[in-house]
């Protein structure tokens, strides 16, 4: 019998913002909720298991939209060996990532960047091209 292989190419159809800020994750979620008039809520930690048998738990905040979602992910966490690890290792300078998937295209990413850049607690807001990231598969969580 002939075997067939199924190759699945994931799609990265979301916008990604990188945030640099020394504040705790719950305060970052509160700042984003206040500045962007959102309602991000804490959800179960995102668990990523790597082939090297290490595991990473990332704190996340989530807002479900009718045709998409907004997700705040912390970049830095302790892995299963209690060492500092990163969700996206090539962007170690980023503290948080804000993923915005909006199929209706009613949310304005430049407006998000503008509002968050004006916050005194957020040092930097950068729009990131997901296609150029090596470890972009780590962002596939929903």
The string of DSSP letters for 38-86 reads ---EEEEEEEEE-TTS-EEEEEEEEEEETTEEEEEEESEEEBTTS-EEE
Domain count, the chain: 1
Answer yes or no: is 3 within a domain.
no
Give yes or no for a contact between 32 and 42, defined as CB atoms under 8 angstroms apart: no
* Position 80 confidence tier, pLDDT thresholds 50, 70, 90: low
User: What does the pLDDT look like over 56-77, one tens digit per residue?
Assistant: 788 899 999 888 889 999 988 8
Strand partners, 71: 62, 99
CB atoms within 10 A of CB 105: 9
pLDDT in tens, 115-133: 999 999 999 999 998 888 8
- Euclidean distance between CA atoms 100 and 107, whole angstroms: 9
The domain containing residue 91 runs over which residues?
15-139
Quick: pLDDT tens for 36-58: 999 999 999 878 776 765 777 88
Instruction: With respect to residue 5, please indicate whether it lies within any of the assigned structural domains.
Output: no
Q: Tell me, yes or no, whether 76 lies in a domain.
A: yes
Q: What is the pTM of this model?
A: 0.83
Residue 50 within any structural domain of the chain = yes
């Amino acid at each position: 019998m002939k075997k067939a292989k199924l190759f699945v190419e994931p799609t990265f159809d979301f916008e990604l913002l990188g945030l640099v800020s020394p504040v705790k994750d719950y305060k970052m979620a509160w700042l984003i909720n206040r500045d962007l008039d959102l309602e991000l809520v804490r959800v179960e930690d995102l668990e990523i298991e790597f082939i090297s048998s290490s595991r990473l738990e990332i704190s996340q905040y989530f807002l479900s939209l009718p045709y998409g979602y907004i997700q705040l992910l912390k970049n830095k966490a302790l892995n299963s060996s209690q060492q500092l690890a990163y969700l996206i290792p090539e962007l170690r300078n980023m503290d948080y990532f804000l993923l915005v998937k909006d199929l209706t295209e009613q949310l304005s990413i430049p407006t998000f960047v503008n509002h968050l850049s004006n916050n005194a607690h957020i040092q930097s807001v950068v729009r990131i091209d997901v296609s150029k990231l090596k470890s972009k598969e780590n962002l596939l969580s929903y």
